[in-house]
Every structure is written in structure tokens, then in C-alpha cells.
């Protein structure tokens, strides 16, 4: 079963509080989501392999370490995932970026896929699928299935806020996928919104509705 990691770093928790706050406007909301994504990327990249390299300092040779060149891919689930991808790329600028377009039908709450574009060397990459919200889990489950159908084997899921129902669904359908969160909330309401959550992530990021 994949692990669930909730990042309890004080900066992540502080910024998440203001992301949740209904009085936070679009500009600040977007900036905070971007900052939290960067902080989460710092945590999620802890396992990356290093190799020994020697560089010349002004004083002499230094046996140091550099990343061993792991191939990473960041895959935001459109739309709201886009709010997190730049923040991640600040730390891992060489990562390739794929996109999966998915919206939740407001009546059935089932995800509808409308776009997929991934890097060509899917089999060789470690992917981080990103979306601020993991609610029923339908969107994340289908996005991960979409990557797997195209050959991806190494996938992590990173979300700001999850409901227990969404975590359970991802673990059921994709038991090998580790899930990284800033918060695990209480429940879903009757419309499939996370309680207390932050509202509609896409609308708050892009100023729609
Ligand atoms: C939101 C969110 C997730 C999805 C989560 O997207 O960004 O993708 O809902 O819900 P689920 O876990 O129940 O599938 P939405 O469908 O509102 O589309 P948007 O990003 O275009 O606003
Ligand atoms: N999608 C959102 O944007 N927010 C929720 O709370 C649930 C799904």
C-alpha cells in the first residue's frame, strides 16, 4: 500500500491557513499556492540520488555531490494543478512537464478527461502528478491510470488538501502510489467539496465564477 505523507513544516502549514481563508483574494491565493508547491517539492525530492563530483573552488579541489540525473516529470491535472507546477519547477527546472486535462462533472462528480500530453520517454521518468484537491479521488485516479496506460511506472501524487475518501480511493485503485499532502481534512460534503478545504481551487486560482 502506498504511503500517505502529510508535510507538517511550519511554513507549509502557515501558508495553507491563508490559502484556506475565504478573504484571501486571487492574487495572494495564487502566490501562496505557488510558494507551498515549492516547499512541498523540497520535501518530495528528499529521496533523489546524489553522485560524487569534484569541482574546483578558489582554494582547491572539492569532492562534492550533485544530483545523479534522475529523469523527473511534473504532471499538473488541468486546470487547478497548473497553480502548483511552476512552484515545483523552481526547484527542479530540468523536469519535463506533461498535462492531463480533467474536469469533474458537477452532477455525477465523475471525472471527464479532455486532454493528455506527456513527455515522449514516459517509461524512464519518475512522475509527480499534482492537483491542489483530492476530493472523491476520481480525477487523480483517472489521471494516474492515463499515465500508466501510456507506460509510466513510477508515479507520486502531490496535493494540497485531501479528503479521507480520496486517499482511500487512490490507495484502492493505485496501491503503489505514494501520496504527499499539506493537509488531510475531515470529510466531503454532499456536493463533493472537501470540508473544511478551501472551496473550488480552480475558481480561486483563476478568478472565475
Ligand atoms: C477539481 C480539483 C481536482 C478535482 C478533485 O477540479 O482541481 O482536479 O476537482 O475532485 P475529485 O477528487 O472528486 O475528482 P475541477 O473538476 O473543479 O476542475 P478545474 O481544475 O478545471 O476547476
Ligand atoms: N474540487 C475543488 O476544487 N474543491 C473541492 O473541495 C473539491 C473538489
Say which CATH topology domain 4-206 has: Rossmann fold (3.40.50)
- pTM of the model as a whole: 0.95
Are the CB atoms for 178 and 156 separated by under 8 Å? yes
Catalytic residues: 104, 108, 200, 203
Residue whose CA is closest, atom 3 of ligand 2? 200
Under 8 Å between Cβ of 147 and 168: no
- Binding-site residue set: 79, 104, 131-139, 194, 199-201
Q: Please tell me if the CB atom of residue 133 comes closer than 6 angstroms to any atom of ligand 1.
A: yes
For ligand 2, is residue 206 a contact (CB within 6 Å)?
no
Closest listed ligand to the CA of 165 = 1
Backbone angles phi, psi at 112, to 5 degrees: -120, 120
- Contact by Cβ (8 Å): 55, 61: yes
For 2-20, what is each residue's pLDDT tens digit?
Answer: 899 999 999 999 999 999 9
Contacts of 25 (CB under 8 A, 6+ apart): none
Q: Would you give the distance in Å from CA 186 to the centre of its chain? A: 20
Give 76-96 pLDDT, tens digit per residue. Answer: 999 999 999 999 999 999 999
Residue whose C-alpha is closest to residue 32's, from 21, 17, 19: 19
What digits encode the pLDDT tens for the residues 49-74?
Answer: 999 999 999 999 999 999 998 799 99
Is residue 200 classed as helix, strand or coil in its secondary structure? Answer: coil
Least Cα distance to 95 among 61, 125, 135, 129 occurs for: 125
- Whether the per-residue pLDDT at 1 is higher than 90: the answer is no
Mutate to test the pocket of ligand 2, among 19, 78, 196, 199 (most ligand atoms within 8 A of CB): 199
Whether residue 209 has pLDDT greater than 90: no
Q: Binding-site residues for uracil, please? A: 194, 199-201
- The reply to whether ligand 2 has any atom less than 6 angstroms from the CB of 200 is yes
pLDDT at 177: 98
The whole-chain average pLDDT of the chain stands at: 96
Amino acid at each position: 500500500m502506498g504511503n500517505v505523507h502529510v508535510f507538517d513544516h511550519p511554513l507549509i502549514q502557515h501558508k495553507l491557513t491563508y490559502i484556506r481563508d475565504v478573504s484571501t483574494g486571487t492574487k495572494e491565493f495564487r502566490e501562496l499556492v505557488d510558494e507551498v508547491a515549492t516547499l512541498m517539492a523540497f520535501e518530495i525530492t528528499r529521496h533523489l540520488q546524489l553522485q560524487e563530483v569534484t569541482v574546483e573552488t578558489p582554494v582547491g579541489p572539492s569532492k562534492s555531490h550533485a544530483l545523479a540525473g534522475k529523469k523527473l516529470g511534473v504532471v499538473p491535472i488541468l486546470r487547478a494543478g497548473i497553480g502548483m507546477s511552476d512552484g515545483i519547477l523552481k526547484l527542479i527546472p530540468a523536469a519535463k512537464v506533461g498535462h492531463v486535462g480533467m474536469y469533474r462533472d458537477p452532477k455525477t462528480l465523475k471525472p471527464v478527461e479532455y486532454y493528455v500530453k506527456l513527455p515522449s520517454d514516459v517509461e524512464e521518468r519518475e512522475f509527480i502528478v499534482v492537483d491542489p484537491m483530492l476530493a472523491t479521488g476520481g480525477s487523480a485516479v483517472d489521471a494516474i491510470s492515463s499515465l500508466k496506460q501510456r507506460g509510466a511506472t513510477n508515479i507520486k501524487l502531490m496535493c494540497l488538501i485531501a479528503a479521507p475518501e480520496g486517499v482511500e480511493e487512490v490507495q484502492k485503485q493505485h496501491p503503489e502510489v505514494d501520496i504527499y499532502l499539506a493537509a488531510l481534512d475531515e470529510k466531503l460534503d454532499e456536493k463533493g467539496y472537501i470540508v473544511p478545504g478551501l472551496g473550488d481551487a480552480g475558481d480561486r486560482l483563476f478568478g472565475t465564477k
